[in-house]
Structure 1
Amino acid sequence: MDVKECGRHVFGVCHDHLAPHVSDGIVVSEHVTYKKLISTIAGELKIDETRKKIKARYIVEVNASPLFICNEMSVKLYVLQFRLEDCVWIFKASCRRGIELFKVRFFQDVHTCPLKDHVFTQLQATVGFVSGFAALKLVNYKRIHTPNDIIEAIKNTFGVDINYQKAWRAKERTIKMLRGKPAYGYRQMARYVYMLNSVYPSSHIRIHKFEDNKFMYLFVALQPLKSGFEYCRPEVVVDGAHLSGAYKGTFVSASTLDGAGCILPIAYGVVDSENDNSWTWFFENFKIDFGERDSMCVVSDRHESIIKVVSVVYPNVPHLACIWHLWKNVCTNFRKSKDRLSDIYYAMAKAYCKDEFGFF
């Protein structure tokens, strides 16, 4: 019987009263358990498995090459041997008709085949191997390389299939190897602040900690950005973005538009979440460094804490709504009409006088 499957144990049961070329195949996984192996053979030979008279003196190893069983003569003789002709490994057992007990007749457990023929029958990629392979793609932190990309790359390069969990674990291990653990990054915060002050003198950088000396808030306003804000319109846009990873938090920032209409960041920081205390601490540091300019305004997504804090820290500064966040609310509440409302909405948002705004 010509069976070419690799990575699985393939058993062929041949009955001598049939034509020599007729055979039934039993296919089991290479990780088959002892109970499953006995059950499969018993089912093929129509043996009452519940009587528990089947005894096995040898269990096929996990990484063994494909084997086959033959049934010869009136006495049922079962022979397990390697498909490789130059290997002398063989296992023989027999039982007479009407008897359900197998008796081992001969067992030669020495392999004479090359090691690669019975070790490399099924290639597997470990997490360590995959992480080393993915390291070259993840050196550049700006590059997006997802677990699905890793799965595809391993398949195309080595012809090996890996699951999503293994790819994800390999990526996490690679990132940890290249950039260190998140906790280590927070321990380097003091060095980070020191280097910023050394490279950008006169910057305003502050760290706020808990009573047990754990990190709480960070505020950074670099001197070059402070100088650039003096030549921009006094419009401050603030927003927050949730951080992912082992340590949660929120990245907060303040930015404006330069003369070319490009975004210019003027201050940023990290806080625990968007709440009254964190935004108060951020705006107080912002006011210490930037003060209050004439015709200044603050633009945000209308977060409740931002509205409350701006009215306290900057009582004379108007607070405006971001047109992009406002448009998202329109799309949420008027999904069917958003295409028709788009042109009208942006025309109203970009109107420069009340008469033009009232036209719509």
Structure 2
Amino acid sequence: MSSEEECVLVLVHCSGKIKKKSKKYGVKFTDREPLSVFITSSNSLSDLKSSILQKLGVFGSKFVKKIFYKIPIAVVSSGVMYDTFVLAADEDIRVLFHCVRSFPEVRIHELYAKLEVTLDSSGASAPVHSSTAAGGASCSAPANQSSVLQVASPSFAADLVPTVAVRTVRSPNEGVLQQTFLGESSRATDDELQEFGEPDQVENAMRDDDSDQEPHYPPHFSTLNLEALGEHPAGIATVGGSSTEFQIGQSFQSKDKAVLSVKDYSIRRGVEYRVLESDHLKYHGKCKDFGKSCSWLIRISLRARKGTWEVRRYNGPHTCLATSIFSDHRQLDYHVICARIFPLVSADAAVPIKVLQQATEADYGFKPSYRKVWKAKQKAVAQIYGEWEESYAELPRWMLGVELTMPGTVTVLQTSPVRVVDQIDESTVYFHRLFWTFPLCVEAFQHCKPLVSIDGTHLYGKYGGTLLLAIAQDGNSNILPIAFALVEGENAESWAFFLSNLRRHVTPQEGILVISDRHNGIKSALEDPVNGWLPPRAYRAYCILSQHNRPGILKCNLRG
């Protein structure tokens, strides 16, 4: 994809209905299971229609009669006002991209496709042939395969950011503006809206909501950059992205890239191969049906002088049939998946595994197991942020950097020695505990209420552990974290480490109230005179979570 070409992800509704204008949001499309389709600025209307039919699996039996665009026309205090606009020609795609640029508040744009069954002259179903009307509008489903990028995804909708001001955006092309907002030829008529006004056969399965509130969808796809599937940063092994045949003499920068390219080729062709040899000098594979119905083989070797891997022998293409009916593919391992999902994980490390699973399925046509995708994500995270051991080894450097950047920062690191049999290796130490606080937190606590809430939360990384926190509260009841600690778990020693440093560096004031749960480790640390939390210097309150009539209400039981 060229850098000048624009790409946008749209929802395509093919069932449900178009609800007429409301005072708050205007027109609204209703469909519980819309399609997700990528449209590029170079796509034609015929490409878009073909893509919808291919995605639905009805290519040849149905055709797209008309496509409505839920076009944003103004931003108001309650959200975005919409109207309907008919995509009737290739030039109308420009209108959609104009609205994408003009209304950044709309994260996901929506279309409604009206489908009809294709009939021949006798009234029976007939194959569909491509035809284009004047002006570039396709009046039947095209026979050529769509070039629109497609990604399967869960349901989602625009996550709007309300603003106070009302504004409309004028296009530099007045013709486009007129066609978008004033053009009668492309605007959906009341009769057309009425045609969609009655619920179809799937309407009973949908929620019957006639309110003006926008439907709520899971938010993670609103910010997920699915366009990143086709982008790969330098230095990361990538897959080939196509099923084109290899050429003798074709070179790769590394063995990883060569192997990924061979696997990608096999997955997209729907065939499998077996690895005969694989070492630091060569990679040799044959089709699993080699010698029976197929003669496909490939041999890739290292060219030491050039430092590249080169295809030295190749018999292709496959002459066997791709008859696999399985949902997974042998060559679709977590290394291949990692190369595909790397840009998505790089953009959002919290992206759910199921989302990555669906994105991989949309790209390859095979659905990998949850565990494969989980391992692929872990590998991608390690490539982006480093291994767990590397991260822990960077802690002293991070502490020094924070202290230099933010003078007054307090960091306390505890390590444990390495024991080999009965001997102590003094050259190596293990991470044990870390306490830190920032100067702004220390200063802010001087202006807060004389109380602190302390608690811990479990960490679910490779080495586990617990994050301990101290929270303060200002005069307006706003909460403020003031101290942090990474420890091995909640016990008397770890709480003593945290509370002693909290007292020494952050809360030296007298008469402070400590709110906590009834953990025995906290009780032991607070009752230790060395830590400085005994009355009258400090007092304790238990925080109990009510599980009965009003869950979520915190009650404090003061203990002197």
Per the normalisation by structure 2, the TM-score is 0.39
User: How far off its partner does 1:120 sit?
Assistant: 6.4
Within 1, Cα distance between the matches of 2:290 and 2:475?
Answer: 72
Q: Is the 8 A contact 2:542 2:556 kept in 1?
A: no
The answer to whether the 8 Å contact 1:299/1:321 transfers is yes
Q: CA deviation at 1:200?
A: 1.4
Specify the alignment match of 2:317 in structure 1. 115
Report the Cα offset of residue 241 of structure 1: 1.2
Partner of 1:62: 288
Tell me if the contact between 2:413 and 2:435 (Cα under 8 Å) persists in the aligned partners.
yes
8 A contact 1:243–1:250 mirrored in 2: yes
**Residue from 296, 299, 309 that aligns with 2:515:** 299
Q: Tell me the equivalent position of 2:44.
A: none
2:522 aligned partner, one-letter code: I
The answer on 1:196 being equivalent to 2:402 is yes
Bigger radius of gyration, 1 or 2?
Answer: 1
User: Contact 1:256–1:263 at 8 Å: present in 2 too?
Assistant: yes
Q: Distance in 1 between matches of 2:289 and 2:357?
A: 24
1:120/1:178 CA distance change after superposition, 3 Å: farther
2:356 aligned residue (150, 158, 171): 150
What's the secondary structure of 2:417's corresponding residue? coil
Match for residue 185 of structure 1?
391
CA shift digits 1:59-99 (9 cap, x unpaired): x962569xxxxxxxxxxxxxx878xxxx9xxxxxxxxxxxx
> What's the CA shift string for 1:36-63, capped at 9, x where partnerless?
xxxxxxxxxxxxxxxxxxxxxxxx9625
Contact 1:203/1:222 (8 A) holds in 2: yes
Q: Distance in 1 between matches of 2:289 and 2:293?
A: 15
- Aligned CA distance change for structure 1 residues 307 and 250 (closer, same or farther; 3 Å): same
- In the alignment, the residues of structure 1 paired with residue 289 and residue 353 of structure 2 have an alpha-carbon distance, to the nearest angstrom, of 28
4+ long deviations beyond 4 Å: 119-124
Larger RCO (alpha carbons 8 Å, 6+ apart) = 2
Change (3 A) 1:231 1:119: farther
Q: Counterpart in 1 of 2:375?
A: 169
Deviation digits for residues 79-124 of structure 1, max 9, x if unmatched?
x878xxxx9xxxxxxxxxxxxxxxxxxxxxxxxx960554866664
Superposition deviation, residue 131 in structure 1: 0.4
1-side partners of 2:556 and 2:445: how far apart?
Answer: 23
**What is the CA–CA distance in structure 1 between the aligned matches of 2:288 and 2:352, rounded to whole Å?**
32
| 1:184 to partner: Cα distance | 0.6
Q: Given the superposition, is the C-alpha separation of residues 118 and 264 from structure 1 closer, same or farther in structure 2, using an over 3 Å criterion?
A: same
How is 1:235-314 mapped onto 2 (pairs within 5 angstroms)? 235-312=451-528, 313=531, 314=533
Q: Secondary structure at the match of 1:167?
A: helix
Q: Could you say which residue in structure 1 is the equivalent of 2:344?
A: 137
Residue 127 of structure 1: CA displacement? Answer: 2.0
Match of 2:446 in 1: 230
Change (3 A) 1:116 1:183: same
1:342 paired residue number:
550
Does the alignment pair 1:220 with 2:436? Answer: yes
Deviates more, 1:253-262 or 1:295-304: 253-262
Deviation at 1:177, TM superposition (A): 0.9
What is the CA distance between 1:278 and its match in structure 2? 1.1
Structure 1 unaligned segments of length 5 or more: list them. 1-29, 32-59, 66-79, 88-112, 332-337, 353-360
Q: Distance in 1 between matches of 2:556 and 2:499?
A: 28
**What amino acid sits opposite 1:315 in the alignment?**
L
The total of aligned residue pairs comes to: 236
* Counterpart code for 2:385: R
**Structure 2: tracts of 5 or more residues without a match:** 1-270, 273-285, 296-314, 419-428
CA RMSD of aligned residues (A): 3.2
Separation in 2 of the partners of 1:207 and 1:289? 14
Q: Percent identity of the aligned residues?
A: 22
Structure (1 or 2) with the greater strand fraction: 2
Structure 1 residue 310 displacement after superposition: 1.2
